[in-house]
Every structure is written in C-alpha cells, then in structure tokens.
Amino acid sequence: MPPMIMNGLFTQLLGAIVAVSLAPLFLGWVNQCRAWLSNRSAPPLLQPYLVIRKLLHKDAVLAENASPLFRVVPYILFGAMVTAAAIIPSLGTALPFAVCADAIALVGLFATARVFIALAAMDIGTAFGSMGARREMMVGFLAEPALLMVVFTASLICGSTALPTIADTLAGRTLAIYPSLAFAGVAFLMVLLAENARIPIDNPATHLELTMIHEAMVLEYSARHLALIEWASALKLFNYACIGFALFLPWGLAHEDNPLALLWALPLLGLKLIAAGAGLALIETVSAKLRIFRAPEFLAMAFMLAVLGLLVRLLLGS
Amino acid sequence: MPDATASVPLSAQLIHLAAAVMLLLSFAMLAQRRLVSLVNLFAAQGATLVGSTLVVAYSTGQHELYLSAAVTSIKVVLLPYVLHRLIRRLSLQWDTETLVNIPTTMLIGLGVVIFAFGLAQPLSELASTVTRSTLGIAMAVVLLSFLMMITRRKAISQVIGFLAMENGLFFAATSATYGMPMVVELGILLDVLVGAFIFGIFFFHIREQFESLELSHLESLKED
C-alpha cells in the first residue's frame, strides 16, 4: 500500500478516535463554562464521562410495547455520528474516504440520525415522545436548508462540495475580507445552536416538560441506550464545532504531504475547541430561551443570512 | 474563478464589506419588532454609510466626499436622537406591529434582493469603478426599505423606512459613481431633515386625533 494512502487512513482513523474520545470532554467544558458564567459551582470537567460510565453499569429497562426499532436506534445514532466525525477534516485534510461523502452527504447523515431518533421517540407512544419528535422535526426541517446554504456559500468560493477540499482552499488563500463567509458564519452559528438543542431553541439542562425538545424524545431510554444517545449528542456538538472550524477557521490542519503536522494539529484543535466552548457558553448565558413558536423565526433568519451570503458572493465576488 | 477577491484592492474590499453590512442591517430592521432597536439599527446603518463614504473619499482622493460624510453623520446622531425622543414622548417603546409575520417578510425580502441584484447586474456593467457591483446592494437596500414601509402599521416605523431608503440612495451614489454633486446631496439631506421634523409634528397630530399611531385608522373618512 502506498504511504500516502496509509497516511490518509491514519489521519481518518485518528480523527474519528479523537472525536469519540474528546466529545464528552468538550461537552463537559461547555457545561463548566456555563456554570461559571451563571455563578454556579461548576460540575467536574469529566462529568459527562462519569454519567456515561454510570449509565453503562445500569440495567436497561424497556417499555413492554417497544419495537426492535427502539432498541437499535441508539446504535444507529452513535454510528451515524462516528461516521460523520470520520469524514469531517478535524485534524488533517488527507481523508481517503471523504471522497465518497461530501458536505451534502454529511447533512444527509445528520438528517438520517434525526429521523431515527424521532421514530424511536414516537415508537413507545407516550405523549412526550411524540411531542418531542414533532418539535425536533420542525426545528430540523428549518435548520437543514440553512446548513446546506452555508455549505454552498463555502463551496461557491472553493468550487467543491467536499469538506477537505474546502478547508484546504480556504486555508491556502491570501487573506482577504469575505463578507459572504461572515454571513455564512453567523448563519452556521445559529444552525449549530438550534441543531444541538442549545439555549435559544432548547435548553439541554431542562427537565421542564413544556419546553423540552431533545430531552422529551429520549425520556423512555435508560442505561446503555441512554449512554449511547448522550454520547452521540456530545459527538454531534463536537462534529458541528469541527465543521465550523473547517469552514471558518481552517488554519493548522495537516496536509497530505506532511503527516508530522498532525502533531501540532491536535493541540491546535484543542485550543480551538476551548475557545469555541467558552464562546458557546457565553452565547447561551446571554441569550434567553425563545418560545417554541419563535423558533421558525430564528431559523428563517439563519436561512436568510446563509442565502444572503450566497447572493453577496455571486454579486460582489467576495 | 476560485479566488478573485484577493486581487481587489483593500479599499474596494472594505466598501464591499460595508455594502454587505448595510444589506444585513436592512434585513435586521425588517425583522425588528421593537421600535427602540429599530432606531438603533437605523443609526448603525447610517454609521456604516459614513464609514464607506470615508473609505471612498480616502481611496479616490475626492475631498468633497469628506464633507458629504460629515453631512451624513447628522443622520447618525441627530435623527436617531429626535426619533428616540419622539418614541419616549409618545411612549411607544414596546410596540410590536407588523402586517405580515416576520419569517414571511424575510422570505419576501430575499425575493426582493434577488430581483434587485438581477436588475442591477446589467446597469453596473456600464459603470467603470471598482466597486460598481455594490449598486445591486444599494438597490436592494432601497427596495427593502420600501418593503418595510409597506409591511409596518405604525407611522413611526414607516418614517424610519423612508429614512433608510435615503441611506440606500446615498450609498448608491457614493459607491457606484463616487458621489453626487454637493448641491444635490445637501438638497436631499435638507429635504430629509425637514421631512423628519414634519413627520414628528404629524405624529402628535395623528395621535391627538385618533389616540393611536395606527395608520389604518386614517383610512375611514368619517367616524362610525
């Protein structure tokens, strides 16, 4: 096997492993920042790992009328997120498998995960599950076109929809002001907040029935299933952060020709994640949760910003 | 094709940025429910306009544009001050009033922007300046302000729409053709100022007569 492919495989594998192992840590960091900012004493940084470990040690309880779908969904969810983590250029851009799945496929992968979790939520037939599923689908169908538009804006600049190519092109360009990317960046941030059940749309820490979206869907899960779902949502947040870095802060990724760059791509990714987590916590602290009926407005705004980015790129060429 | 931006000079890049920010602020105004924030957004739009005029003035060495920027900054300071006072005096701070709901308005706004860009494409081919492509954005700002005037019910937000439209016109003038003759500019500005003051007086009269600033009350000729 030629060494270049070996490099690529190693980068891809390392990216996926780093994502899976660091995702709960990132979530813990965000939670810690949120606690600090709201003057509470913070949970330990490793709390998400402890939760997952605790859940893995418990016995799973299933509803009597749960179908096989209900059992497999956590695995599908986790699998989808790991696959996504593998094709996002988080450490290096030499990803041999990324040619089979560009950014559009990535959005599709997220959509698949969403459909399955919504189906599982409706499977038991409780009121909360189906309510959460409906709300999730409402948020999802509005966030998805916005995310696609963000990706298209970047693709228009780079002439490709493959994320590694986009990250490579954007990192290699000369420094210039791109208003279109700024628009896309804000839109992406809004989509990130909405898709990861973050505060303006959903509160990840809430257990108040009327406002839950994500939490309502996973109420029926317990033990190892719940652990996988929690892990998968941490991974989703991590993945979104990495997509954001690839599109808007693509510097410091390892290239195909120098695998040694991976050595400093990893600490750089850590730094970016620390900054992003603090920023995310800050946004969540200063903004209030929107009423659920305002969510379409929020997401329409994201869509509009993304389309504006596209139009500005087309008109001004910048 | 991939990267044409890097070859454009910095001043043109800054003007493009200003154009994009103006467009963004127009949309923000379209989506804004609170009147106080609407006035602040209007002031921010004016400030962006001043910034871009200064950049044009510096990069082309046309000194009368500095004067033009100074004149425009009246709109950043004086008009928002007057509007804020009006809002306080009429106690309208918490008003929410749109005819069409906001997501729909924004989608219509997107359509308007596409229309304006399409319209401006052949026009801007005629100009010879580096920043000619901002003409489409200036036109979009004008049309979006129109849209705001149409979709708002209260007189005061319609007036802000009117003033924002004037911002768009100024932007078109400075960025696409490097400024209008000073006389024209001063004339327009005076008109706008006088207009704003007359509107202010009107508001009080409208409210005295109808106890509300909803313009739909003006549509019926006599009281039932």
pLDDT tens digits for A263-286? 778 888 888 888 999 998 898 888
Cβ pair B6:A173 closer than 8 A: yes
Given a cut of 50, whether residue A155 has pLDDT beyond it is yes
Interface contacts (A, B; CB < 8 Å): 82
Whole-number Å distance between alpha carbons of A75 and A94: 28
Coil, helix or strand for B214? strand
- Residue corresponding to tokens 């009147």: B35
Whole-number Å distance between alpha carbons of B163 and B191: 11
Which of B141, B199, B143 lies closest to B171, judged by CA?
A: B141
Whole-number Å distance between alpha carbons of A129 and A135: 10
Distance from first CA to last CA of chain A, Å, rounded? 42
Judge contact between B137 and A315, C-beta under 8 A.
yes
ipTM exceeding the 0.90 mark: no
| Whether B14 contacts chain A with CB within 8 A | yes
| Whether A156 contacts chain B with CB within 8 A | no
Whole-number Å distance between alpha carbons of A122 and B161: 47
Cβ pair A157:B3 closer than 8 A: yes
Q: What is the pLDDT of residue A78?
A: 92
Cβ neighbors of B13 (< 8 A, separation 6 or more) are A176, A177, A318, B5
Given a cut of 50, whether residue B1 has pLDDT beyond it is no
- Residue corresponding to tokens 């002001």: A177
pTM, two decimals, is 0.83
**What is residue A96's DSSP assignment?**
G
Cβ pair A318:B8 closer than 8 A: yes
Given a cut of 50, whether residue B111 has pLDDT beyond it is yes
Tokens of B82: 């007057």
**What is residue A294's DSSP assignment?**
G
Which of A148, A165, A195 lies closest to A310, judged by CA?
A: A148
Q: Of A296, A307, A318, which has the smallest distance from its Cβ to B5's Cβ? A: A318
Whole-number Å distance between alpha carbons of A92 and B161: 49
Q: What is the pLDDT of residue A75?
A: 93
CB burial string B137-153: b at 16+ within 10 A, e below: bbbbbbbbbbbbbebbe
Q: How confident is the model at residue A256 (pLDDT cuts 50, 70, 90)?
A: low
Q: Please give the residue of chain B at the shortest CA–CA distance from A160.
A: B2
Coil, helix or strand for A1? coil
Q: Please give the residue of chain B at the shortest CA–CA distance from A309.
A: B20
Which A residues in the span 267-296 are in contact with B, Cβ-Cβ below 8 Å?
A: 296
Given a cut of 80, whether residue B129 has pLDDT beyond it is no
Which of A113, A142, A144, A133 lies closest to A232, judged by CA?
A: A113
**What is residue A36's DSSP assignment?**
H
A161 Rama class: left (phi>0) / alpha (psi -120 to 50) / beta: alpha
Cβ pair B133:A317 closer than 8 A: yes
Whole-number Å distance between alpha carbons of A209 and A128: 8
Whole-number Å distance between alpha carbons of B33 and B104: 14
**What is residue B127's DSSP assignment?**
-
The beta-carbon contacts of B4-11 under 8 Å, at least 24 apart in sequence, are B4/A317, B5/A176, B5/A177, B5/A178, B5/A317, B5/A318, B6/A173, B6/A174, B6/A176, B8/A176, B8/A317, B8/A318, B8/B130, B9/B59, B9/B130, B11/B55, B11/B56, B11/B58, B11/B59
Q: What is the pLDDT of residue A147?
A: 92
Given a cut of 70, whether residue B212 has pLDDT beyond it is no
Distance from CA of A78 to the nearest CA of B (A): 34
Whole-number Å distance between alpha carbons of A29 and A39: 15
Q: What is the pLDDT of residue A235?
A: 92
Q: What is the pLDDT of residue B215?
A: 66
Tokens of A41: 């004493």
How many domains would you assign to chain A?
1
Given a cut of 60, whether residue B3 has pLDDT beyond it is no
Judge contact between A12 and A86, C-beta under 8 A.
yes
CA-to-CA separations, B30 to A42, A123, A185, B90, B104, in angstroms, rounded: 40, 42, 21, 22, 11
Beta bridge partners of B154: B214
**What is residue B154's DSSP assignment?**
B
Coil, helix or strand for A254? strand
Given a cut of 60, whether residue A202 has pLDDT beyond it is yes
Cβ pair B137:A176 closer than 8 A: no
Per cent of chain B over pLDDT 70 is 78
Whole-number Å distance between alpha carbons of B145 and B168: 8
Q: How confident is the model at residue B153 (pLDDT cuts 50, 70, 90)?
A: confident
Which of A227, A233, A162 lies closest to A195, judged by CA?
A: A233
> What are the φ and ψ backbone dihedral angles of B195, each rounded to 5 degrees?
-55, -45
Cβ neighbors of A77 (< 8 A, separation 6 or more) are A113, A116, A117, A228, A229, A232
CA-to-CA separations, B49 to B2, B6, B164, B183, in angstroms, rounded: 29, 24, 11, 19
Supply the Cα-derived Rg of chain A in whole angstroms. 19
Q: Which residues of B touch A185 (CB under 8 A)?
A: none
Choose, out of B8, B14, B24, B108, the residue to mutate when testing the contact with A (most A CBs < 10 Å): B24
For chain A, give the mean pLDDT: 84
Q: Of A179, A182, A297, which has the smallest distance from its Cβ to B102's Cβ? A: A297
Mean pLDDT of A297-316: 85
Whole-number Å distance between alpha carbons of A51 and A54: 5
Boundaries of domain holding A15: 3-316
Cβ pair B102:A315 closer than 8 A: no
Cβ pair B1:A159 closer than 8 A: yes
Side-chain-facing half-sphere of B170: CA atoms under 13 Å: 33
**Helices B35-60 + B10-31 axis angle, to 10:** 170
Q: Of B21, B103, B117, which has the smallest distance from its Cβ to A311's Cβ? A: B117
Given a cut of 50, whether residue B2 has pLDDT beyond it is no
Q: What is the pLDDT of residue A101?
A: 79
Beta bridge partners of B214: B154
Most confident region among A132-141, B27-36, B114-123, B211-220 by mean pLDDT? A132-141
| Whether A180 contacts chain B with CB within 8 A | yes
| Whether B5 contacts chain A with CB within 8 A | yes
Which of A195, A187, A221 lies closest to A310, judged by CA?
A: A187
Mean pLDDT of A102-115: 89
Three-point CA angle A129, A131, A132, nearest 5°: 65
Per DSSP, the residues of A272-298 read: HHHHHHHHHHHHHHHSPPPPGGGHHHH
Given a cut of 80, whether residue A205 has pLDDT beyond it is no
Q: How confident is the model at residue B165 (pLDDT cuts 50, 70, 90)?
A: confident
Side-chain-facing half-sphere of A310: CA atoms under 13 Å: 21
